[in-house]
Structure 1
Amino acid sequence: MNKQKRHEIFSRWRADNPHPTTELEYDSPFELLIAVILSAQATDVGVNKATRKLYPKANTPEAIYALGVDGLKEYIKTIGLFNAKAENVIKTCKMLIDEHDSQVPDSREALEALPGVGRKTANVVLNTAFGQPAMAVDTHIFRVSNRTKIAPGKNVNEVEQKLLRFVPKEFLIDAHHWLILHGRYTCVARKPKCGSCMIEDLCEFKEKTEF
C-alpha cells in the first residue's frame, strides 16, 4: 500500500471521527491504567460495568490497595481471569504508592515494570493518558493492518513497528483508536462489512463482501 492511500484512509477516519478515544470509561490516568489491566481478554463493556461500581468506592492506589485482593474481587468477579487480575492490581497499587508517589508513570519502562502491565497496556496508557504516539496492537488492529494492507506483519510487534513507520505523522496520536474502532464495528473478524465501509475503495483486501 502506498503513502497516498494511507493518508487518504486516515483522513477519512479523522473527518468521520475527529476526536476518537477509548471506549473504556475513566477520569484519570490511574483509572485508565486499572481499566486497561482489567480489559485483557475481556470486553470494554464488561470492564465498564465493573468499574462503574468500583471507582465510586475506590479510584486511587491507596483506596484500591485498602480493599485488598478479596475486596477487589467482589467488584471485578464478572470479568475473565479476575483472580489473577485482582492480585496484579493490588501489587500495582502498592508499587505506585511506594515508588511513584501514587502517580501513574509516563515512561514505558516504568509502566512495564508494574504487575499485569505488558507492552500493549503500556502503549494504551502512554497514548491515551499522556498523548504519546504509541501503538497498542490488539487483535482488531492486527487484523485491520493485515487485511487492509496498511501495515501487514506476521506478529503484533512487526505490525506495531510498521504502523509507527507508515502512519503519517499527523495521524499518529489517534491512529490506534481509529484502527480499533474500525476493526470492532466494520472490519469484523468473521465477515468484514465491506459494503458499508468508508475505505472500501482504498483497502487492498481481495475477498470483499457486499454486506
Structure 2
Amino acid sequence: MSNELFSRNDIYETAKTEWQLPEELEETDRDKTLRQISRTLKSEGIESSEVDTDGHTKLYKLPSGVRAFVRDDMHAYFMKTMIRDSPLKYSAASISDDEVRTWQGIAEDQRIQDLNDVVKGKPWPNNSDEQVIQTEFEKRKYQIMIEAIFNEKFVLHEEDLLNDIRATLRFTDEGDSEYIKRDMIAVFKRENEASFYYNRRSHNAGNKE
C-alpha cells in the first residue's frame, strides 16, 4: 500500500500523463475530469487523510498508488469520455492492469499448449519467420479492406447468421437426415443465399441497382 498523499490536481496531472491527454485541455474538460476524480474517490471509499500546507487542499492516500488509480479505477471514464473517438482507444494507455493480467494468462495458456504439442511431436511454432508474417499480413490486410468496404455500404445481421450456423453445425453433429424438418431446410436454404444476412445502409438507398 502506498503511503504517499495526493491532491486532486496531483491525480489530474498523473492522468494527463498516463492517458496521454493534451497538455492544455479545455477548461470544461479539466473541470469535468476533476469532478470525476472526486466521484471516483468517493465511490472507492477514499476520504481525505490530511490537508496540505495551504490549509484547504485535501490530500488522499490511494491504496494502490496514483498510477493504478487513474489507470484502473478511472479506466471506464477515460475510455468512454476522453478518448472514445481517438486512436488512443487502442493504444497502450488504454490497457488497464486487470487487462494485462488477463492477457498474460492467455499467453501463458498458449505457451503451455505449444509445449504440449511439441511433446506430441509437432514442431515448435515459427511465427516470427518473415514469410509467415507476410502471409498473415496479406490475409489480414484483405480482411480489413473487405470489411471496411462492406461496413460502409451494408449492415450485417450477425445474430441471424450466427444462429443459422449454430443450427447447421448442431444438426450435422446430432441430426438424423431421415427426419429433417422444414425449419432446418429453411436454414440450409438461407445459408446458400448471402443476401438474406445483410441490408444496404439507408444512406445508400438511392444507389440501388
**Pairwise TM-score range, normalised by the shorter structure:** under 0.3
TM-score scaled by length of structure 2: 0.25
| Larger helix proportion of the pair | 2
The structure with the larger Rg is: 2
| Larger strand proportion of the pair | 2
Greater RCO, 1 or 2 (C-alpha within 8 Å, sep 6+): 1
